[in-house]
Chain A
Amino acid sequence: MLRYILKRVALSLITLWLLVTIVFLMVSLLPSDIARNILGNTAPEASVIAFREEFGLTDPLLQQYGRLMKSLVTFDFGQSWSTKRPVWGMISAPLLRSTKLAALALILTTPISIAAGLIAAKYRDTRIDRAIVLTGLATSSIPEFVTGALLAVVFGVQLGWFESVATFPPGTSLIGQLDYLLLPASAMAIVYFGYIARMMRSGTIRALESDYTRTATMKGLTGGQVMWRHALRNSLAPTITVVSVQIGYLFGGIVGVELVYNYPGLSRVILDAVKDLDLPVLQVAVIIVGAIYMITTLLADLVIAWLNPRARLELGQQ
Chain B
Amino acid sequence: MSTEPSPGVPYLPPRATAADRAAAGAGATVDVDERRPALQLEDLQVAYAVRGIDRIVLRGVSFSIAPGEAFGLVGESGCGKSTTAYAALRYLPRNGRITSGHIRVDGNDITTFDKEQLRRFRAEEASMVYQDPGSSLNPTIKVGKQLVESFLVLGQSKPAARANALQALNRVQIADPARVMDRYPHQLSGGMLQRVVIAMALACDPKLLVLDEPTTGLDATVEAEVLDLVRTLRNETGAAILLIAHNLGVIRSMCDRVGVMYAGKIVEEGPAAKVFDDPQHPYTVGLLRSLPRQGRRKGQHSLATIPGTLPVLGADLPTCVFIDRCSLASDLCRSQEAPLVDLGGGRTTRCHHPDLIGTMLEAESTRVVVSQGETVLTIAGVSKTFRQAGHSVPALVGIDLSLADGETLGLVGESGSGKSTLAKAILGVHAPDLGGEMTLDQHQLASRIGNRSTDDIRAMQIIFQNPDSALNASWTVRRILKRSVRKLTGANSVDSDARVATLADHLRLSPRHLDMKPSQLSGGLKQRVAIARAFAGDPRIVVCDEPTSALDVSVQAAILNLLAELQSEQRTSYVFISHDLGVVRYLADRIAVMYLGRIMEVGSTDDIFGGPHHPYTEALLSAVPSVDGEPSTRIKLEGEIPSPANPPSGCVFHPRCPRRIDGVCNSIEPPIIEASLGHIIRCHIPAEQLRELQQSPASG
> Taking A221-B153, A310-B186 as contacts, is the C-beta distance between A211 and B132 under 8 angstroms?
yes
Which one, B122, B138, B140, B204, contacts A217 given CB within 8 A? Answer: B122
Give CA–CA (A241, B127) in the complex, Å.
37
Residues of chain B contacted by A212 (CB below 8 angstroms): 135-139
CB-based contact A313/B186 at 8 Å = yes
B124 proximal to A (CB < 8 A): yes
Residues of chain A contacted by B204 (CB below 8 angstroms): 220
Query: Contact mask B424-453 → A, CB, 8 Å, 1/0?
Result: 000000000000000000000000000000
CB-based contact B137/A215 at 8 Å = yes
CB-based contact B389/A220 at 8 Å = no
A130 proximal to B (CB < 8 A): no
Residues of chain A contacted by B184 (CB below 8 angstroms): 309-310
Residues of chain A contacted by B138 (CB below 8 angstroms): 212-213, 215-216, 230, 233-234
CB-based contact A220/B135 at 8 Å = no
Closest chain A residue to B147, Cβ basis: A219
Residues of chain B contacted by A308 (CB below 8 angstroms): 139-140
Give CA–CA (A210, B389) in the complex, Å.
31
A83 proximal to B (CB < 8 A): no
Residues of chain A contacted by B140 (CB below 8 angstroms): 233-234, 307-310
A42 proximal to B (CB < 8 A): no
Distance between B425 CB and nearest chain A CB, rounded to angstroms: 25
B334 proximal to A (CB < 8 A): no
Give CA–CA (A223, B128) in the complex, Å.
18
- The interface residues of chain A, by DSSP majority, are classed as helix
Closest chain A residue to B388, Cβ basis: A317
Closest chain B residue to A222, Cβ basis: B119
Which one, B115, B122, B135, contacts A218 given CB within 8 A? Answer: B122
A206 proximal to B (CB < 8 A): no
B200 proximal to A (CB < 8 A): yes
A7 proximal to B (CB < 8 A): no
Residues of chain B contacted by A217 (CB below 8 angstroms): 91, 122
Quick one: which of B404-429 are within 8 Å of A by CB?
A: none
Residues of chain B contacted by A218 (CB below 8 angstroms): 89, 91, 122, 127-128
B141 proximal to A (CB < 8 A): yes
Distance between B212 CB and nearest chain A CB, rounded to angstroms: 11
> Taking A211-B130, A214-B91, A310-B186 as contacts, is the C-beta distance between A220 and B123 under 8 angstroms?
yes
Give CA–CA (A230, B149) in the complex, Å.
11
B15 proximal to A (CB < 8 A): no
Distance between B631 CB and nearest chain A CB, rounded to angstroms: 36
Quick one: which of B67-121 are within 8 Å of A by CB?
A: 89, 91, 115, 119-121
B197 proximal to A (CB < 8 A): yes
Give CA–CA (A154, B123) in the complex, Å.
54
> Taking A308-B139, A309-B140 as contacts, is the C-beta distance between A215 and B123 under 8 angstroms?
no
Give CA–CA (A218, B208) in the complex, Å.
13
Give CA–CA (A222, B149) in the complex, Å.
12
CB-based contact B149/A221 at 8 Å = yes
Residues of chain B contacted by A317 (CB below 8 angstroms): 389
B284 proximal to A (CB < 8 A): no
B150 proximal to A (CB < 8 A): yes
Closest chain B residue to A210, Cβ basis: B135
Query: Contact mask A143-171 → B, CB, 8 Å, 1/0?
Result: 00000000000000000000000000000
Residues of chain A contacted by B91 (CB below 8 angstroms): 214, 217-218
Closest chain B residue to A221, Cβ basis: B153
Query: Contact mask A229-252 → B, CB, 8 Å, 1/0?
Result: 110011000000000000000000
> Taking A214-B91, A310-B184, A317-B389 as contacts, is the C-beta distance between A220 and B139 under 8 angstroms?
no
23 CB-based A-B contacts, threshold 8 Å: A211-B130, A211-B132, A212-B135, A212-B136, A214-B91, A214-B136, A215-B138, A217-B91, A218-B122, A218-B127, A218-B128, A219-B122, A219-B123, A219-B149, A220-B121, A220-B153, A221-B119, A229-B141, A230-B138, A233-B140, A307-B140, A309-B140, A310-B184
* Chain A residues proximal to chain B, CB less than 8 Å: 210-223, 229-230, 233-234, 307-310, 313, 317
* Chain B residues proximal to chain A, CB less than 8 Å: 89, 91, 115, 119-124, 127-128, 130, 132, 135-141, 149-150, 153, 184, 186, 197, 200, 204, 389
Please give 7 more A-B residue pairs, beta carbons under 8 A apart, in addition to A308-B139, A310-B184.
Answer: A215-B197, A215-B200, A217-B91, A218-B127, A219-B150, A220-B153, A310-B140
Q: 5 closest pairs, A vs B, by CB?
A: A220-B123, A212-B138, A211-B135, A220-B122, A309-B184
